[in-house]
Every structure is written in C-alpha cells, then in structure tokens.
Amino acid sequence: GAKKVTNKATLWYVPLSLKNVNKVLEVPPIQYARKEQEDEGKKRYEEQKLDRLETKQRNGDLIFPVINPEPHTVGYSQSSLIHLVGPSDCTLLGFVHGGVTMKLMDEVAGIVAARPCKTNIVTASVDAINFHEKIKKGSVITISGRMTFTSNKSMEIEVFVDADPFVDEPRERYRAVSAFFTYVSLSKEGKPLPVPQLLTETEDEKRRFEEGK
C-alpha cells in the first residue's frame, strides 16, 4: 500500500483566443510564495525557449525508408506510423490533444527501441516534446522515429510528427511536433540490460550521435 513517485515533468501551455485560435493571449500574473520560486521559474522558461529554438533548426530533417538495412544501423531501427486525426483525437475547437500526439510518438519510439533489443523496453525519459504548430481535425499525420545515440544501457530516439491537412485546405506537409525519447532495456526481473550499440554510417548520423553524448 505504499506510494512512490513514478513520473515527474514540467509542461508549458499557451492560452489561445476562443474566437481566433491563432491569437495568443496574455497569462494572468500569479503570486509567488518566495522570490527564489519566481527566479527558478524564469530560468526554466529561458531554458525551454532556447531548447525550442534549437529544435526548430532541425525541423528540415526527414526520415526516409532504407531498403535492406544492415543490423543495428539507424536505417534498421527507424519506424513510421500514419494516423488519420478524427474527432475523438481533438479538442472542442478541432485541434489534436497534446496527449494523443505524445502517445503515438511514444509508440513509434518504442518500436524503434525494440527492434535491435528484442527485449522488454521501457521509456526512461522524454526530452522536451516541442509542439511547433497546431494539427487540425481531418489531417493525416506521419510519426517517424530513428535511433540517434546509444550508451551502454540506454537508447536515444528522435521522433518527428508531420501533418498533411489535405481535407480542409491545400497546404503542404509541415513539421508539427518533435522530441527525443530515451529508452532502456530490461530483463524479466526488471534489471537493466546492455543495449546493442548503434552503427553510424553517414556524416549526419555521426553528428547526431556526438550530439547525443
């Protein structure tokens, strides 16, 4: 019957106008219990702004299928999932719930992690899921993942979400969400196992591997 902390995260939200969903509203100020609490919050805010800026610079990256990839390469582990956004996926205003997108991203990242390990893999952490643009009801989204780094007992997986809003408007595909997931491999007893080491082939793969360190 004992309780213990299993998950911890910081989420950032932006208030939008009900009449114009493209208009960002001001956030009412809050009263802080102490000055240090406000300073700590400002520090986290600036860090996430910088992280979002760095992530946007990677948004031109694409994940292409690889024919007959070698085992333990980036191409061997990468996976994609295509999903039609329906009413049950969306808010009352017709845009996808963040939680729906995160679940799909976690599924794809899990497949990427499981392919080389063939064991029980679990999500260890998620590094800043960045929602760059809204996704409307009726869009077709493609969730793509690839392994970017491995340590002795963990795997870093980059996941992109691209949206095709072809039902309501003739807009080209755009990058809507991106994130990094970290997975670990566990034995039947729940003990961490060594993971197969990622083999990098191209200069971009080697660069991403070094960034993962």
The pLDDT > 70 percentage for the chain reads 96
| Predicted confidence (pLDDT) per residue in 89-148, tens digit | 999 889 999 999 999 999 999 999 999 998 999 999 998 899 999 999 999 999 999 999
| Predicted confidence (pLDDT) per residue in 7-62, tens digit | 988 888 989 888 888 899 999 999 999 999 999 999 998 988 888 777 766 776 77
pLDDT at 151 over 80: yes
Q: Compute the mean pLDDT over every residue in the chain, rounded to the nearest whole number.
A: 90
Q: What is the 3 state secondary structure string of the chain?
A: CCCCCCCCCCCCCCCECCCCCCCECCCCCCCCCCHHHHHHHHHHHHHHHHHHHHHHCCCCCCCCCCCCCCCCEHHHHCEEEEEECCHHHECCCCEECHHHHHHHHHHHHHHHHHHHHCCEEEEEEEEEEEECCCCECCCEEEEEEEEEEECCCCEEEEEEEEEECCCCCCCCCEEEEEEEEEEEEECCCCCEECCCCCECCCHHHHHHHHHHC
Domains of the chain: 60-212 (3.10.129.10)
| Predicted confidence (pLDDT) per residue in 65-81, tens digit | 788 889 999 999 899 99
pTM: 0.85
